[in-house]
Amino acid sequence: MIKIKIVVCIKQVPATTEIKIDPKTNTLIREGIENIINPFDCYAIEEAVRIKERLGDPDIEVIAITMGPSQAIEILKEAISVGVDKAVLLSDKAFAGADTWATATTLARAINKIGDCSLVLLGKQTLDGDTGQVGPELAQKMGIPFVGYVSNILEMDQNKMKVKRLMEDRYETFEINLPSAISVIKDINVPRVPSLRGKLKAKNAEIPVWGAEMLGLDVNEVGLLGSYTQVVKIFTPQIKHETTLIEGTPDEKVEHLYRILKESHVV
Amino acid sequence: MEIKINRETCTGCSLCKKVCLYNAIEIVNGKVVINESCTFCGACIEACKFNSIEIAGLSEDKKDFSDYGGVCVYLEANGSVIADVGFELISKGRELADRLGAELSAVAVGNSIKNEAVEGFRYGLDKLYLIDNPVFSNNLDDIFAMALAQVIKKYKPEIFLAGATAFGRTLIPAVAAMLKTGLTADCTGLEIDDEKKILLQTRPTFGGNILATIVTRNARPQMATVRPHVMEKRIISEIPPDYEDKIEYIRIDGSGFKTRYKLVSMDSKLNEKINITDYNIIVSGGRGLGEGNKFSILRELADLLGGVVGASRAAVDSGWISYPHQVGQTGKTVNPRIYIACGISGAIQHLAGMQTSDIIIAINKDPDAPIFKVANYGIVGDLFEIIPKLIKRIKNGKLMV
C-alpha cells in the first residue's frame, strides 16, 4: 500500500480584512493589524483533512508548510489544531522579499525534500499579494499538472483525482493523474473550528524549521535576490469621494435615478 | 542584501512604522529598527521624508537583452471566440509599442479562431502568430503553456501581456515558469519608463487597498496579466487588405502536444448568468435585502437594464445567492459601466471588488454606510420602495418611446 502524502502550502498575512478607512482623512488605518492565516488557505487545509477522512486511511499524512518569519509558526499550529498531522516552517533571512517565482522555488524544494507527495493543495490566492501565481509556478517547477479555482474534488484515489474548476462562465471537470497540485476556492467546503484535542496537539507539536541551506538552495535563488520582479513603488489609490446625494421624495429620487440611467444610455 | 537605515538622518518620526503592514518596524532609542518580518515591499522607503531607508545590495540589471524586442499580446479564446480582453490589450500594447518604437504582435492559440483573431488588426496589430489546430479545442493549461512558450522563445518579445482571466491566471504563470522570467499578476496600469525603456507594471494589492508598481529584473520578457475591462479597446483602422502577409501560421504537430488533463465535462449551459465580470451593468444586493428570495427584484432590474446580479459576501454567506455572484476581495473584481449597490453597507473588502466601476449608485437606509464614500450617486432610502418604482419607471419609459 502506497502511503498518500498531501502537502498544504499556507501563508501568514496581515488581516487586511481588518483594515478600515479613517473617515476624517480618507486614508487607510494600517497600524495594529494582526497577522492571520490567509483565509483562502483555510479551505485548502480543510479539504486536505477531509480527503484523509474520506479515504479513511490512517496512513495518509497531511503536512502543512509555510514560508515566513519565525512567528509564522502560529499558523502552522493553527493548521495542526484542525487536523493537519505535521508542519514545517521554511524560515530564513534570505527568504525575505521573495516574489512568486522565488516563493515557488522555495516551496517546491521543500515539497521535494518531504518526498513522495501525491497532492499539493493551496488557496486560490493570498490576501496580501492577491496573485494566485505561486501554485501554477510551483507545479510547473515540479513538473506536475495544476488545476486552479477548484470548487469540488469529486473523486480521488492513490493514482488519480477528478476535480471541478470554476471559470468565469462555466465549470470544467477534469481527471488528472497524481501527483498534482490544485488551488481551491471558498465554495469547496466550510472549514471546521479547532477541537480541544486539536489545540492540545498543536500546543505540543514540534515544528522543524528549514532554512536555505537545509533545502540546498543558494541565497541567490531565494528571497528578493532570487526574484525576477521587484516592487519599485507603493502608493495608496485615490478613494473617490464626490458623491452626489439624491434627495427628495421617493418618486423624485426615482425620477433622478432614471435620468442618470437614461444619460448613460442604458434605458 | 539588506534594508538599511541611515542613522544620521533618521529622526525616529515613525512615518514608516505607520505604513508598514507587516509590523516589521520598531523605534528603538529614537531610531528605526527593521525586524525579520520585513518583506522588502518598499512601503517605508516611499513614506520616509528624509530618504533614510534604502534596500542595499541588490544588483542592477546587467544582462544584455538586446535580442528581445517588441510587444506581444496573448489572444485568449474560448472555443472559437476571442475574449475581449485580448483586444483591450492590443490597444494598450499599441500604445506601449509606439513608446518603444517597436512592433506589436499577438499570438492566438485555438481551433478555428482565424476569423476572430484577424479582428486584432482593427486595433493596431502589426503581426499575428496563429496556432490553429484541433488539439487546442479546449483550454487545457499544459499544452497551451507549451505552445505559448515556444512562440515566445522563438520571437523573443520584450513585453508579453495576457488577460487576467481565470484561465490566464493559471496558464501564464506556467509559461513564465517555463521561460524562467518574472510575471506580475492582475495589472491595472502599464507604462513605459522612457529613460530605462522598461515596463512599469502597476497592480492593486492588499485587496485593492494599495497599489504597487513592479518591474521585471534580470529576465525577459517582462510578463504581466492584465485585469479585463480596465484597458480601453479602440478600433483605429480597417483590417488591411494585405492582412494575410501579416499572419505567421505556426504549424504544429498535434501529436507533440500531449495533455495531462482529461476534460470529463463542461458545464457551460448554466441557467444563471454567472460571468458577472462580462456585464456592463451590475445590480448588487447585500444584507439589506433581508432574505434570499428578495433577489428577484434585483434580478428583474438587472434584466431590464441588460445586466446581471451581483452580491456582497454577506448575501452569499447567508445562502441567498451562489458564490460566482460574489463581488469583493474573496469574490470577483468587477468594473462595469454602472454598479448599483442595494442594501450593501460597503465593507472595504466589497469596495475592493467594485470601486473601479465607472458609475456607482448606492441605495441604502443608513446614511453613514461606507458605500456612500465610493458612490457617485447616493440614495438614502428603502430599496424595497425605490427599486420597484424604478422598474416601473423604466417600463413606462420604454412604453413612451
**pLDDT given for residue A240 in this prediction:** 56
In a domain, B61, yes or no: no
The ipTM (two decimal places) reads 0.91
Tell me if residue A238 falls in helix, strand or coil. Answer: coil
Are B67 and B16 in contact by the 8 Å Cβ rule? The answer is: no
Q: Over chain B, what is the mean pLDDT?
A: 92
Query: Which chain B residue has the Cα nearest residue A190?
Result: B317
- B294 with B251, same domain: the answer is no
| Cα gap B72→B105, rounded to integer Å | 5
**B66-89 pLDDT per residue, tens:** 999 999 999 999 878 999 999 999
- Whether B21 has its CB under 8 Å from any CB of chain A: the answer is yes
CATH number of the domain where residue A149 is located? 3.40.50.620
C-alpha cell at A261: 440611467
- Whether A211 has its CB under 8 Å from any CB of chain B: the answer is no
- B228 with B301, same domain: the answer is no
| pTM metric for this prediction | 0.87
In a domain, A264, yes or no: no
- B205 with B119, same domain: the answer is yes
How do the pLDDT tens digits run along chain A, 267 residues long? Answer: 567 899 999 999 988 666 665 656 555 666 667 889 999 999 999 999 999 999 988 889 999 999 999 999 999 999 999 999 999 999 999 999 999 999 999 999 999 999 999 999 999 999 888 899 999 999 999 999 999 999 999 999 999 999 999 998 889 999 999 999 999 999 899 999 999 999 999 999 999 999 999 999 999 999 999 999 999 888 877 665 688 999 999 999 999 999 999 998 888
Query: Pairing between strand A146-156 and A35-37?
Result: unpaired
- Whether A254 has its CB under 8 Å from any CB of chain B: the answer is yes
Q: Which of B264, B270, B377 is facing A246, going by the closest CB pair?
A: B377
In a domain, B104, yes or no: yes
- Please indicate whether, in this complex, the C-beta atoms of A140 and B304 are within 8 angstroms of each other: no
**B171-224 pLDDT per residue, tens:** 999 999 999 999 999 999 999 999 999 999 999 887 777 889 999 999 999 999
| Cα gap A61→B211, rounded to integer Å | 40
- Whether B81 has its CB under 8 Å from any CB of chain A: the answer is no
Amino acid present at A195: S
In a domain, B157, yes or no: yes
- Please indicate whether, in this complex, the C-beta atoms of A175 and B182 are within 8 angstroms of each other: no
Residue B137, CB half-sphere, CA atoms under 13 Å: how many? 6
- Please indicate whether, in this complex, the C-beta atoms of A167 and B174 are within 8 angstroms of each other: no
CATH number of the domain where residue B88 is located? 3.40.50.620
Query: Which chain A residue has the Cα nearest residue B359?
Result: A264
Number of domains chain B contains: 3
| Cα gap A121→A161, rounded to integer Å | 13
In a domain, A261, yes or no: no
Residue B38, CB half-sphere, CA atoms under 13 Å: how many? 24
| Cα gap A8→A47, rounded to integer Å | 9
Q: Which of B171, B214, B267 is facing A232, going by the closest CB pair?
A: B214
Alpha-carbon gap: A205 to the closest alpha carbon of chain B (Å) = 23
* Chain A partners within 8 Å of B145 (Cβ): 140
In a domain, A184, yes or no: yes
| Cα gap B129→B250, rounded to integer Å | 7
Are B88 and B77 in contact by the 8 Å Cβ rule? The answer is: no
- Please indicate whether, in this complex, the C-beta atoms of B207 and A16 are within 8 angstroms of each other: yes
* Chain B partners within 8 Å of A92 (Cβ): none
In a domain, B271, yes or no: no
* Chain B partners within 8 Å of A174 (Cβ): 261-264
| Cα gap B6→B244, rounded to integer Å | 60
In sequence order, the 6+-apart residues with CB closer than 8 A to the CB of A170 are: B266, B267, B268, B270
In a domain, B63, yes or no: no
- Whether B207 has its CB under 8 Å from any CB of chain A: the answer is yes
Residue of B166, B172, B112, B163 whose CA lies nearest to B142? B172
Share of chain B above pLDDT 90, in %: 73
* Chain B partners within 8 Å of A19 (Cβ): 206-207, 209, 348
In a domain, A254, yes or no: no
Are B386 and B340 in contact by the 8 Å Cβ rule? The answer is: no
- B89 with B195, same domain: the answer is yes
- B339 with B248, same domain: the answer is no
**pLDDT given for residue B29 in this prediction:** 92
pLDDT of B153 over the 90 cut: yes
Alpha-carbon gap: B373 to the closest alpha carbon of chain A (Å) = 5
The stretch B301-311 carries a mean pLDDT of: 95
**pLDDT given for residue B401 in this prediction:** 42
* Chain B partners within 8 Å of A231 (Cβ): 40-42, 212-214
**pLDDT given for residue A20 in this prediction:** 63
- Whether A173 has its CB under 8 Å from any CB of chain B: the answer is yes
* Phi and psi torsions of A262, nearest 5°: -65, -45
| Cα gap B69→B40, rounded to integer Å | 30
| Cα gap B129→B120, rounded to integer Å | 11
- Whether A175 has its CB under 8 Å from any CB of chain B: the answer is yes
- B34 with B80, same domain: the answer is no
* Chain B partners within 8 Å of A185 (Cβ): 323
**B259-274 pLDDT per residue, tens:** 999 999 988 755 566 7
- B175 with B231, same domain: the answer is yes
| Domain housing A118 | 5-221
In a domain, A83, yes or no: yes
* Chain B partners within 8 Å of A120 (Cβ): none
Query: Which chain B residue has the Cα nearest residue A95?
Result: B39
| Cα gap B257→B79, rounded to integer Å | 18
Q: Which of B39, B217, B324 is facing A166, going by the closest CB pair?
A: B324
- Whether B268 has its CB under 8 Å from any CB of chain A: the answer is yes
- Please indicate whether, in this complex, the C-beta atoms of B389 and A254 are within 8 angstroms of each other: yes
CATH number of the domain where residue B32 is located? 3.30.70.20
* Chain B partners within 8 Å of A183 (Cβ): 170
CA B318, distance to chain mean position in Å, is 28
- Whether B165 has its CB under 8 Å from any CB of chain A: the answer is yes
**B366-396 pLDDT per residue, tens:** 999 999 988 999 999 999 999 999 999 999 8
Tell me if residue A189 falls in helix, strand or coil. Answer: coil
| Cα gap B384→B290, rounded to integer Å | 11
In a domain, A250, yes or no: no
CA B273, distance to chain mean position in Å, is 20
pLDDT of B281 over the 90 cut: yes
Residue A85, CB half-sphere, CA atoms under 13 Å: how many? 16
A72, A169, B77, B102 from B117: Cα distances, Å = 48, 21, 9, 21
The stretch B324-342 carries a mean pLDDT of: 90
Instruction: Give the dihedral sign, CA B227/B228/B232/B238.
Output: positive
In a domain, B261, yes or no: no
Number of domains chain A contains: 1
Residue of A76, A122, A96 whose CA lies nearest to A211? A96
* Best mutation target, B62, B81, B172, B183, to test chain A (most A CBs within 10 A): B183
Q: Which of B141, B174, B348 is facing A21, going by the closest CB pair?
A: B348
Confidence label for B23 from pLDDT (cuts 50, 70 and 90): confident
A9, A49, A149, A183, A262 from A188: Cα distances, Å = 17, 13, 10, 10, 41
Query: Which chain A residue has the Cα nearest residue B276?
Result: A168
Tally Cβ neighbours within 10 Å of residue B244: 9
Interfacial B residues in 337-376 facing A (CB < 8 Å): 337-338, 348-349, 355, 359-361, 370, 372-376
**pLDDT given for residue B399 in this prediction:** 55
- Please indicate whether, in this complex, the C-beta atoms of A100 and B278 are within 8 angstroms of each other: no
In a domain, B264, yes or no: no
**B87-119 pLDDT per residue, tens:** 999 999 999 999 999 999 999 999 999 999 999
| Cα gap B125→B91, rounded to integer Å | 8
Are A212 and A92 in contact by the 8 Å Cβ rule? The answer is: yes
Are B316 and B332 in contact by the 8 Å Cβ rule? The answer is: no
CATH number of the domain where residue B308 is located? 3.40.50.1220
* Chain A partners within 8 Å of B220 (Cβ): none
- B243 with B339, same domain: the answer is no
In a domain, B115, yes or no: yes
| Cα gap B204→B225, rounded to integer Å | 12
- Whether A93 has its CB under 8 Å from any CB of chain B: the answer is yes
In a domain, A91, yes or no: yes
Q: CA triplet A168, B149, B126: central angle to 5 degrees?
A: 85
**B347-367 pLDDT per residue, tens:** 888 988 898 899 999 999 999
The stretch B50-70 carries a mean pLDDT of: 85
In a domain, A258, yes or no: no
| Domain housing B334 | 276-400
C-alpha cell at A9: 502550502
Which of the listed residues B32, B56, B80 is the one where a domain comes to its end? B56
**pLDDT given for residue A17 in this prediction:** 60
